[in-house]
Structure 1
Amino acid sequence: MRASAKIFWILGAFFLVVAIAYGFVTYRYEPLGIETVGFPAVLALAGLGFMIAMTLTIASRKHELDASDDLDGEVSANSGVQGSFSPYSWAPLWVAIGAALCFLGVAAGWWIFAFGVIFAIYGVLLWVLEFSSGQHAH
């Protein structure tokens, strides 16, 4: 986890430097000034890199060394349970349909976007409450 955090700190710093250089170059040489799509996109990449790095750094402080942090570790050290997943869940399908309709709605018509939001909310609620058996269940 620490190695991954270092990689994302480096990526965040790299994209920040690239964003500053890109903003300077487009401001200097473009007739309309700073380019309005690329500059914020590269800044967003830097922000995402820093957010992931911060999350991994905080997680590595709270938990013991991961198998990937051991210099003499083997690949088989990461084997075992990786999480609890429902193999026959329909919730990801509803979320994907909702996301697809939202993207289609932005391109084709805003009324389609509303249906996408409904499908996405239904899918997310179904996914979150999938293993819930009620407030007072034992």
Structure 2
Amino acid sequence: MKSEAWIFGICTAFFLLVTPSYWFITGDPTGTSALVMTTLLATLVTFYLGFHASRMEPRPEDRKDAEIADGAGELGFFPPYSWWPLWCALTFSLVVLGVVIGWWLVIIGAGLGVVALTGWVFEYYRGEHAH
């Protein structure tokens, strides 16, 4: 995680230099406040990654003497294909379209959205991929 902390540290330094420059050049309060929040967010991520990198065992990516074989093995759980994100996106678009067309469509979209979101959340509790 040290490399990620360094990357976000460089981004923090960049945003720290760009923010006052942007304010003096444009005088735009909206863009300046967005850059200030971006700087603070990059700082938060930098400190989080740096804090955890100092307390955990170095990963193979963080060691200079690491071999390719050190990174072998199980990398984690990757979910199989799922149709639920598609249904959630379609119901969300139905809700947004309902704001334009009529509120009755928002209610139908919200009802279908609850079903789609519930299916997405609980897809690993039933069926082929149940745990």
Unmatched 5+ residue regions in structure 2?
127-131
Change (3 A) 1:87 1:53: same
Distance 2:89 2:80 in 1: 16
Change (3 A) 1:56 1:22: same
Q: Is 1:94–1:122's contact at 8 Å kept on the other side of the alignment?
A: no
Q: Alignment partner for residue 42 of structure 2, among 43, 49, 58? A: 49
Distance 1:113 1:24 in 2: 45
Q: Alignment partner for residue 66 of structure 2, among 62, 73, 87? A: 73
| Amino-acid identity (%) | 30
Q: Please name the residue that 1:92 is paired with.
A: 85
* 1:96 positional shift: 4.1
Q: Please name the residue that 1:105 is paired with.
A: 96
Query: Residue type matched to 2:46 in 1?
Result: A
* 1:14 positional shift: 1.5
Q: Which moved more, 1:47-56 or 1:5-14?
A: 47-56
Unmatched 5+ residue regions in structure 1?
28-33, 134-138
Query: Residue type matched to 2:57 in 1?
Result: E
Query: Residue type matched to 2:56 in 1?
Result: H
State how many pairs are aligned.
123
Change (3 A) 1:13 1:73: same
Query: Residue type matched to 1:18 in 2?
Result: V
Q: Please name the residue that 1:136 is paired with.
A: none
After superposition, what is the alpha-carbon deviation per residue over 1:54-82, rounded to whole angstroms, capped at 9, x for unaligned? 33223323421011111122345333323
Q: Which moved more, 1:121-130 or 1:77-86?
A: 121-130
Q: Please name the residue that 1:23 is paired with.
A: 23
After superposition, what is the alpha-carbon deviation per residue over 1:83-125, rounded to whole angstroms, capped at 9, x for unaligned? 21221323333444456x29x939x839577747963x65555
Distance 2:45 2:111 in 1: 27
| Pair 1:58 & 2:43 matched | no
Q: Is 1:12–1:46's contact at 8 Å kept on the other side of the alignment?
A: yes
- SS of the aligned residue for 1:25 comes to helix
